Structure 1
Amino acid sequence: MILKLKRTPGVYIVGFMASGKTTLGRMLADHIGWTFSDLDAEIEKHENRKISEIFDERGEDEFRRVEHELMRKRVRAIECGRPTVVALGGGTFARSENYALIENNGVSVWLDCKLDVIEQRVRGNSDRPLARDPEKLRTLYQERREYYALADFRVEVCSDSPVENLEAVLSLPIFH
């Protein structure tokens, strides 16, 4: 395991919505014996409402404020030595204040999933407020790729099989 990961034992799974971050993150955590955390689920629990409701009732800026606050809390726990695999929301890594926390407190892995696969997975899902407009979804996908490219590692999601995608992540040098 690389020194950076030993110093702050956090693996952050980043990528666009519906790229498989939660599924793969949970599987990875189980495989390596670490705690798993889904940041979006933490936000929903903290706010006692769905993310789509937060967006609709209070707007994206308020959602991002809460997201950052909970991200800071999660990173503090990791800094205290609690090894955790964290599945981030699709926009978390694209915000500089979150990127700085992640960059200095663990290793980031980008699940790079093709747009046509994303579109198929989110079609008709009203729980994803930023996926409601197909054209905006495509634009957002392209805009966020430059941020995801800052991740420490990139894994191309070539399969709908979570097991195959987990194998691809486990082949990264951080797990050898």
Structure 2
Amino acid sequence: MKRVYLTGFMGAGKTTVGRALAEQLCVPMIDTDSYIEEKIGKPIKQIFVEEGEAAFRRYEREFLRTLPPDKRIVTTGGGMVIQPENREWMKQTGMVIYLHCDFAEIMRRIADDDTRPLLSNQLEDLQRLWEQRLPYYSEAHIVIDTTGKRVEEVVQEIMEWIKKTENRQE
């Protein structure tokens, strides 16, 4: 198995699915947002306030390339895909899976989460951001819809796809 990158908008289930998938595959998982917070020494929300979004995107780009090279699940921040070099790096170094979720369900899932810096935007702005990112997310090797699904169902779909992909490569 190659490295697996999970991409998608905030609230799509990347971290939750990533943990369950890592457990199922018996590989480590790393969340890029947590990794950045650990390396920089402050929460992402604070990075956005003190240094701005451009600095955070630079950290994403830099730290993506410093992740350990072993087989693992990598859950990415929702904006990781907006930089072409990140999309290209992920495709070259692993399998990219876009976890799609309908916007209305995303809003329900993240309604009470105050750790997300972009949540302070108006609903219309968030929907526009989601729509702008859709083409980037869609560049993934596969799209898995998480809307209305349990974590176990999503993990099962991913496991089946990984097995098919590996069988084709043998």
Corresponding residue of 1:36:
29
1:159/1:165 contact within 8 Å kept:
no
Corresponding residue of 2:108:
120
User: What secondary structure sits across from 2:140 in the alignment?
Assistant: coil
Runs of at least 5 residues in structure 2 that lack an aligned partner in the other structure: none
Q: Does structure 1 residue 60 correspond to structure 2 residue 49?
A: no
Q: Deviations over 1:121-163 (max 9, x none)?
A: 2224221111222121101000000000000011011335211
- Whole-angstrom CA distance in 2 between matches of 1:149 and 1:72: 22
- Whole-angstrom CA distance in 2 between matches of 1:33 and 1:115: 31
Q: Deviations over 1:106-135 (max 9, x none)?
A: 110010011001111222422111122212
The two structures, once aligned, show a CA RMSD in angstroms of 1.4
User: What secondary structure sits across from 1:37 in the alignment?
Assistant: strand
For residue 61 of structure 1, what is the amino acid of its counterpart? A
Corresponding residue of 2:74:
86
1:119-158 equivalences in 2 (<5 Å): 119-133=107-121, 134-158=123-147
* 1:67 Cα deviation after fit: 1.1
Q: Which moved more, 1:98-107 or 1:123-132?
A: 123-132
1:109/1:154 contact within 8 Å kept:
yes
Q: Deviations over 1:57-76 (max 9, x none)?
A: 110000011111110101xx
* 1:174 Cα deviation after fit: 2.9
User: What secondary structure sits across from 1:109 in the alignment?
Assistant: strand
Q: Does structure 1 residue 70 correspond to structure 2 residue 63?
A: yes
Paired positions, count: 164
If the length of structure 2 is used for normalisation, what is the TM-score?
0.91
If the length of structure 1 is used for normalisation, what is the TM-score?
0.88
Runs of at least 5 residues in structure 1 that lack an aligned partner in the other structure: none
Alignment CA distance shift 1:138-1:174 (3 Å): same
Match of residue 102, structure 1, among 87, 90, 101: 90
